[in-house]
Amino acid sequence: AQRVTQPEKLLSVFKGAPVELKCNYSYSGSPELFWYVQYSRQRLQLLLRHISRESIKGFTADLNKGETSFHLKKPFAQEEDSAMYYCALRWDGSARQLTFGSGTQLTVLP
């Protein structure tokens, strides 16, 4: 069965410091990986997907199939980056739902 693991429930960094949110997955096929961000009690917004290989709000994520990881990185954190971040996987089954990790609450300190 597919699974997404985000080992850090809480992560605090200072403004301007680099940040890395970890995500590991387990799935034997070819997954699609996503990062979603949720600001306080708002809707989840798609931040990144590995297929597009784009950078949004300074965040990047590289799919490492050898390590089965999809870590989210930003070189210089900003206070407005404080939010809950979810890594998600979509597998090539018949249904198209996402499997989410448990999330990492990022706090960027001034």
Q: What minimum distance in Å lies between the beta carbon of 83 and another protein?
A: 14
Question: What residue ranges bind another protein (CB under 8 A)?
Answer: 6, 36, 41-46, 49, 86, 94-103
CA distance 106 to 10: 6
Instruction: Tell me the two tokens of residue 8.
Output: 């850090």
Q: What minimum distance in Å lies between the beta carbon of 95 and another protein?
A: 4
What distances in angstroms separate CA 95 from CA 3, 56, 86, 98, 99, one per listed residue?
Answer: 16, 28, 20, 9, 11
Q: Which lies closer to another protein via its Cβ, residue 20 or residue 32?
A: 32
Q: What minimum distance in Å lies between the beta carbon of 98 and another protein?
A: 6
Q: Which lies closer to another protein via its Cβ, residue 67 or residue 96?
A: 96
Query: Which residues does residue 99 pair with via DSSP β-bridges, in sequence order?
Result: 89
